[in-house]
Structure formats: structure tokens, C-alpha cells
Amino acid sequence: MTSRKGAALIICSPSGGGKSTLISRLIAEFPNFSFSISYTTRNPRPGEKHGREYYFVDRSEFEDLINRHFFAEWAEVHANYYGTPLQTGLDLLESGKDIIFDIDVQGAEQLRKSMPDSISIFILPPSRQVLKQRLTKRGSDDAKELVRRLEAARQEIGRAGEFAYWVLNQDLEPAYERLKSIYLAEKCRSSRNREMLRDVLKTWEDQGTESTGQ
């Protein structure tokens, strides 16, 4: 059986861009995805368990891990640290598992440096107006927060050029098909399938052995 190196997908979009829906569909269709459990300094919420949702550590331990270059990416959000362990992700990829990183543009920048073979994808809304309608439909933000989210989206979209692929999420079905096509094409990349070529070439070596009667 030919082994394959896993693919790491970095997927970003502004709030309301539809990223979570697209990721959920991709995971549902392709069972090879695995997840690296992140570390955080925030307190566990009711029902959360250490080592399942997150590894919950204190600030001094987290900062020690930063200094040891333990994380593929990390950030401080609302006075709490969050970080993705690097070696766990690399081990999953070497075992042939694929990983999705659902992350912001700052985290994506760090991940591209620590995992240079990763595939970065930015999910674009079709327009400011459509994004505003989606955020308004949620009903979870007041007018001030809506303005803040739209401005944050403008800044994030301004960094879309840092990503290898863009997916325009105007309609869910074609957007999902584009995302899936990127994933399937990247799975066929030669750098993830070195042993496939080795195994095929080995059949010629085996044939040579047969022809000499050895």
C-alpha cells in the first residue's frame, strides 16, 4: 500500500464569510482529516476537558513553550494565549493525516513560516453589501459591532494576496466545489506522494530480477 504525506489546509475568511460551513462540509465528505488540539491559558468552560477541547495551562507554562518554539502559531486574544503545537501537526502529516487550520490572518502568517508546505486558502465574500447582510441576519451584533466587523473584514481581505488560493463564496455549492477541487489537487502533489513513484519504479526492478531468473 502506497503511503502519502498529509496535507495541511489553512483556511481564513472574515467573519460572515462562510468559512465554518465550508469546512464542515469538507470534513463530512472526507474522513481523513484530523485535528491538533490547541493550548490555551483561559479557564475551561462547563463541559470542557483538558486534552479534549484544549490543553489548559497557565501563563508561565505557555510562555515557556513559546520560548522553546513549541508552537506552529500562537496569539494573545482577550488577555488569553492560544497556540497550535508544531510537532503534533508535523507528526499527523507524516502519518498521512490531513489537517485543517481554521484561523485568522495573523495565525496563517505564522503557520506558513513554520509549515511551509501548507496550503493557504482565503474565502472571499462577494461584496461588502452581501457580507453586511449576512452579519445582520445573524442578529448577534449591535450597530457599533457591525461597523467594527466590516472594517476588520476590509483589513483582512486586504491581505488575501498572501494566500495561495481564493474561493469566492457567493453561492455555497460552487464555492464548496472550488474548495474541494483545491484539496483534491493538492493531495495529488508530487511532494506528498514520493513513495508512489518509488513503488511504481520498483516494479521495473522486480521485473529485472524475474528476467535474470534470480
pLDDT band, residue 213 (cuts 50/70/90): low
Give the pTM. 0.84
Q: Which residue has the cell 464542515?
A: 24
Indicate the SS3 state at residue 214.
coil
pLDDT in tens, 145-161: 899 999 999 999 999 99
CB 41 within 8 A of CB 81: yes
Mean model confidence pLDDT for the chain:
91
**pLDDT of 207 higher than 80:** no
**pLDDT of 1 higher than 50:** no
| C-alpha–C-alpha distance, residues 49 and 46, integer Å | 9
Domain boundaries, the chain: 8-194
Query: What CATH number does the domain located at 8-194 have?
Result: 3.40.50.300
List the strands of the sheet with 80-85, edge to edge.
55-56, 39-40, 80-85, 71-77
| C-alpha–C-alpha distance, residues 149 and 15, integer Å | 7
| C-alpha–C-alpha distance, residues 7 and 105, integer Å | 19
HSE-up of residue 47 (Cα within 13 Å, Cβ side): 0
- pLDDT, average across residues 69-95: 93
